[in-house]
Chains A and B, each alone.
Chain A
Amino acid sequence: MAEQPSTARKRPEKFPTPAKMTVTLHVNGVERKLTVAPWTTLLDALRLHLDLTGTKKGCDHGQCGACTVLVDGRRINACLTLAVMKEGAQVTTIEGLAQAGKLHPLQQAFIDHDAFQCGYCTPGQICSAVGLIAEGRARTADEIRELMSGNICRCGAYPNIVAAIEGVMSGKAAAKTREAGR
């Protein structure tokens, strides 16, 4: 086979010696200090440095949403940001959603609605849905589908994912109505 001229490999570049940096993150309410290279993504910092493997690496390019976590309350793709950029940030992962041994309502709803099959996208789906509900922009099933489109489920559990999120949203609305009626 003829050798292909590769534009990517032709120039040996000089790169600085890896200089590690210390970063403080508040992960699921706990202060964590870690020493990472500048190119360590937040996703790799969580999985490889903090052993929080609930957050999944799917495509690693921001296309699948499996790595979705909440940073300062907003859902983002952990694969497309660097740990060193998040100095001081509050990070919530799937491991931080259950409180006092009780599942987060969305975790419970995903079980109740059978909203997954293989489960690989589920932590990202649930963190994304937590963000979605906090944003308060989705009112209809169409809007849930649109605003959850950054989370791919290759098992195709979408109808049940939407039902689980709708369930929690309407439960919330019902709880609020009850409170207001008191």
Chain B
Amino acid sequence: MNNFEYARASDVADAVRRIAADPAAKFIAGGTNLIDLMKENVARPSRLIDITRLPLDKVEETRDGGLRIGALVPNSDLAYHPRIEARYPLLGSAILAGASQQLRNMASTGGNLLQRTRCMYFYDTTTPCNKREPGSGCSAIGGINRNHAILGTSEHCIATHPSDMCVALAALDARVPATGRSGERSIAFADFHRLPGDTPQIDSNLRADEIITAIELPPQGFAKNYSYLKIRDRLSYAFALVSIAVGLEVEGGTIKAARLALGGVAHKPWRDREAEAQLDSAPATAESFQRAAATVLRDARGFGHNDFKIELARRGIVRALAQAARGTPQSQADKRIR
């Protein structure tokens, strides 16, 4: 790890001031990804600004009947929060599908959004990587790419976003309030993360001087018909090959509203409005689910080792939609997929 300076932010305004004053500085909260990246010499901040003592650790009701989750609420507290368990079990389930309890105890809500890809070439400083070193090339294209993206890729980068929590937040249409030098704004979740395009080094649309202060959930939590299905190489404590977050409103066998987001397949949590529109008003049957899966994957493209993900994603979408429609969400303790 390289040397760096350390400072504690006294409030949000102070945090913004400090980050704006030093372009090579970084915020630290849970540290579970950043410290690892610093040990690997991938992240080399000049200064760490410790935000862990800011008052951003509450879960509060919003005026419209939703929830506002402080950016510093630990992932484990959020997953087990009574309001999340009762109203947004999709979010709780996705959080518990990721990492280990130790890491969830450390990791913050805001930091989860900003974790970087686990592409092994991004981590390996002896290989070219456009995300780590823009213009150096992508080692995963033509390299070992079993874990890589099948949707929304570019010729510069085929990395995936590693978060489980974010897949559920995408499906739930969350918003991300942020504060910067020019004040506060609220970013729609779909606009928060980016596709790689020709700037794969930029993961999100959060500006360099901005701090995430919270996550806001709208009232609709799909608590009755949901599932988070995560498929991975081992049953626990592994990143997704493919994961699927589903929220449905079902009435008398007919789908009234559908949300579908995928993880492990793209540079950001993958939503497909066209597939969701097809599910809207459709009967909750295998045929409807197959059609939606085909729509989501119509432009999917493999890079050799990850070709299997296209079929895996198709089957996963169909299964997760069936689990949600039946009201039998995937258990994160009993790993059998039913």
Count of A residues near B, CB < 8 Å? Answer: 45
**Nearest CB on A from B77, distance (A):** 9
B332 touches A146 (CB 8 A): yes
Chain B contact residues, majority secondary structure: loop
Across the interface, do A38 and B48 meet the contact criterion of CB distance under 8 Å? Answer: yes
The bracket for how many chain B residues form the interface is 35 or more
The answer to whether A4 and B332 touch (CB under 8 A), given A77-B102, A150-B102, is: no
Contact with B along A118-150 (1 / 0, CB 8 A): 000000000010011001010010110111111
Partner of B101, one of A6, A18, A150: A150
Number of A-B contacts (CB under 8 A): 109
Q: Are A75 and B32 in contact (CB under 8 A)?
A: no
- Residue of A at shortest CB range from B34? A80
Tell me the minimal C-beta distance from A22 to chain B in angstroms. 12
One of A59-67, A100-108, A168-176 contacting the partner = A59-67
A13 interface residue per 8 A CB criterion = yes
Q: Report if A41 contacts B (CB, 8 A).
A: yes
Q: Nearest chain A CB to B336's CB is how many angstroms away?
A: 10
B164 to chain A, nearest CB (A): 14
Q: With a CB–CB cut-off of 8 A, which chain A residues contact B46? A: 15-16
A-B contact sample (11 more), CB < 8 A, given A39-B3, A75-B105, A147-B101: A37-B3, A38-B4, A39-B38, A61-B39, A75-B102, A77-B32, A77-B103, A128-B102, A135-B101, A142-B333, A150-B237
8 A-B pairs with least C-beta separation? A150-B100, A38-B6, A8-B125, A149-B236, A15-B3, A149-B237, A74-B105, A150-B102
Which residues of chain A have a CB within 8 Å of any CB of chain B? 4, 6-8, 13, 15-19, 21, 37-39, 41, 60-62, 65, 68, 74-77, 79-82, 84-85, 128, 131-132, 135, 137, 140, 142-143, 145-151
